[in-house]
Chain A
Amino acid sequence: MPSIDLAPLLKLSSRLLDLHDSRRRSGESPQYQTEDRPGLGDGRYIALAEAVLDVLQRLDTRTGDEFSSLQVIQQSVREDIDWVEDIDVEYVLNVLSRPSELKLLHSPEDGPAYVIGDKETNLVEKAAHVVEYRLSRLGKTALVIASDHMDIAYIEGDVTKLIRAIQAARLGPALGFAERLLQQLRTEQLKLIALIERTASGRRAREETLAQMELHRETMRRTVDLVHEATFAIDEIVRKEVETSDDVPIGLIRAKVKELTGGIVRYGRELTRLAELTMVSKPTTVQAPDFGGLARQWASAVPPPQQVARMLEMLGPGRAPNVAPMGSDFAGIVKVRGSEGVIAEGLQLDGFDIPPEDQFTDWLQKNLPYLESQLNSGVSLRDALMAGLGHDGDAHTLNCLVTALTAADDWVKAPVEGELARELERFDLPGLQVLFSGLRLQMASDGAAGKET
């Protein structure tokens, strides 16, 4: 099927053509007569035009804008549309290649306005003397317009254009891009809010809309990054004091980009809100309350007056009482919220050493199971080193082990005996070579001995 959608072009030009073709004289009745738009009413020729233009676009691209024969075009269209008749394709080509003169009022800045005739209206160009066709210049423009997606899904591309314009210090076009983006975003945002309001009132959004939602959310996340890039580009222009040829102040662009950032973030937030609502809403066709029905019900059975009065207090008309507070009434009463001072401590963690006693406590907590399990058979410094208690990467660990064996009061609950050998022993730790006397701690044999190290 052809990828071209002529419907937007047709819709936006139909009313303009009506005005162009109007025979109404100035000063006559402003009423617009109901038009009788002739045609078969089956949309066949517009569908054929889409197919023909699509084929011509492909052929032009392939041949470098060479004219293509009628037969080739007919064959290509037949591949797209099986119900087509060759003669219909020829008819459509004849119509598309016919120039029609439009009368337009030209208003030059200096001098009176005058009417010009413009005959460049043919979307297809026919070769002279042979039955061959190609897209005309206007036809190419029309296809560009028809394929200019204003969908929010393509916002990243638009922001990229904005970034390039800023980077090139072309602030005039940048302002144009930013304003167009804002307008587009505003329209989309209002559409989304309307959808949210409908969903919140119990009507489920269309499935395809929901399917696109996650895609849009991702797009918005990436777009925020792009807009930040645009902000950096502005900062760069300001920092380097780049000369710009436009009269547009850079501050204005900055304000627009800031507004754009806020708009995109909000759009993303609203998308999330819609997703949440969609998960909890139940599909229903009832959404507008029947207020007329309520008036009828209340004509025969009135609810308690105090309930009606309370409801009207919230929704009915009200005005400020005669004695309403004035600005000066608040003087001295309203106190501005005091900002809480943040206590900022300039901690330099790089130079911070954990106190030795804390290091020992941590070490002991970690290695206590080993020490206690070995206490009956005796814990020696050498065995403990062999078991890995003394080398966690620094000398502090060795100190902790020695402290544990020499100051057993901190962790031993039963009487123990300590033994210090005179012989020196040698042990290699990672990055450290130690020389020490034999040191051993053991549970007291008779239980009568006191703790001793």
Chain B
Amino acid sequence: MTPYDMGRISAFLIAYRKLEDRSDKRGMRRDEKDLAAILREASVDELRDLEELMGGQGFLFVQLTSFDVEGIGPGSRVYLAARRADMASCLVDSSFVVERLGLPSRPTAAKIWFTQIWLLHLDLIYTQLDRSPLERGRWIKASFTREMLQEAVTKHINDYVRKLNAAELASGEVYEVLCAEKGTDVSRLVKRFLDLMCEGGLLEEREEGAYRQTLLSAVEMKENFDRSLAPLMLASAESGRRPTLAEMAAPLLVAAQETVSDGGES
């Protein structure tokens, strides 16, 4: 692998976050086959160099085989550029969320809608499957339909949010945005949410209206949950009470230890 090859692979992974090495060419991107062949022939030292290059750009270079996770054929390999929890990458742009949700003039409302739908989609692929974020291997069964997500959002708004007492809320922003929903808003926003999740490589549409978590999403969830969402969950657990530093630090410390010993074959 020459430095130029390494650059090509790095650029490909930044653009698509996933590179597959498999004999079946179906659905493969231009150059993917060639780059996969370069990676297959690369020495351990060269792969370590690439890992360091990706690390410097805020990515964890993850290599997976059929022995690591379901969904990879025998003899095939999957290379992923997962975001690092300890270092934000400037090469991942998430600003398109507001625009793609179709609420360009109301960025706060867009973020609220996105966050709420995003949490409910996690509920479908983790909570309802009794699955821990560390259970990367169960990604292959983490699927749901658009109707299921739509129903979950509608139920959440009607059965919970609308019944809140607005006067007692510390911040009524979320309440106001969600309660302003009229009829078809949920359907439209859920569709846009799913589209942008697919565009971001976190969900894939298997059939019309049927979605499944991607391997990249499962890997990032496993690597980053403990250092990103878990402290926020802990903070919210005590009905809005701000967590102490010790409470915030504990999961972060656990995550740091696990990062050293875990992470697939990265």
Q: Which of chain A's residues has its CB closest to B152's CB? A: A292
18 more A-B contacts (CB under 8 A) besides A303-B236, A311-B229, A314-B220? A193-B69, A197-B135, A289-B230, A289-B233, A292-B120, A294-B119, A298-B115, A298-B119, A299-B164, A299-B175, A302-B171, A308-B115, A316-B114, A319-B96, A319-B199, A319-B201, A320-B93, A331-B3
CB within 8 Å for A317 and B200 given contacts A200-B262, A324-B11, A334-B7:
yes
Which residue in B131, B137, B199, B221 is a CB contact (below 8 Å) of A190? B137
Q: How distant is A4 from chain B, measured CB to nearest CB, in Å?
A: 32
Q: How distant is A253 from chain B, measured CB to nearest CB, in Å?
A: 15
Residues of A within 8 A of B160 (CB): 296, 299
A window 285-322: CB within 8 A of B: 287-292, 294-303, 305, 307-322
Residues of A within 8 A of B133 (CB): 201, 289
Q: Which of chain A's residues has its CB closest to B52's CB? A: A337
Q: Which of chain A's residues has its CB closest to B169's CB? A: A300
Interface centre among A299, A308, A316 (most CB of B within 10 A): A299
Check A320–B91 contact: CB distance below 8 A.
Answer: yes
Residues of B within 8 A of A326 (CB): 7, 11
Check A301–B15 contact: CB distance below 8 A.
Answer: no
Interface size on B, residues (CB 8 A): 89
Q: Which 9 A-B pairs have the closest CB atoms?
A: A317-B200, A330-B7, A201-B132, A327-B8, A318-B92, A301-B240, A292-B123, A295-B119, A291-B122
Cβ contacts B220-252/A at 8 Å (1 or 0 each): 111011011110110111011000000000000
Q: How large is the interface on A (under 10, 10 to 19, 20 to 34, 35 or more residues)?
A: 35 or more
Bound CA–CA A189/B10 (angstroms):
30
Cβ contacts B2-17/A at 8 Å (1 or 0 each): 1110111011001100
What residues make up the interface of B, taking CB atoms closer than 8 Å to A? 2-4, 6-8, 10-11, 14-15, 45-46, 48-49, 53, 66-70, 74, 83, 85, 88, 90-94, 96-97, 111, 114-116, 118-120, 122-123, 126-127, 129-138, 152, 156, 160-161, 164, 169-171, 173-175, 178, 196-197, 199-202, 220-222, 224-225, 227-230, 232-233, 235-237, 239-240, 258, 261-262
Q: How distant is A61 from chain B, measured CB to nearest CB, in Å?
A: 40
What residues make up the interface of A, taking CB atoms closer than 8 Å to B? 182-183, 185-186, 189-190, 193-194, 197-198, 200-203, 263, 266, 273, 287-292, 294-303, 305, 307-322, 324-337, 339
Q: Which of chain B's residues has its CB closest to A322's CB? A: B93
Q: List 7 A-B contacts (CB under 8 A).
A: A190-B69, A200-B132, A292-B119, A301-B170, A312-B115, A324-B15, A326-B11
Q: How distant is B168 from chain A, measured CB to nearest CB, in Å?
A: 8
Bound CA–CA A324/B45 (angstroms):
26
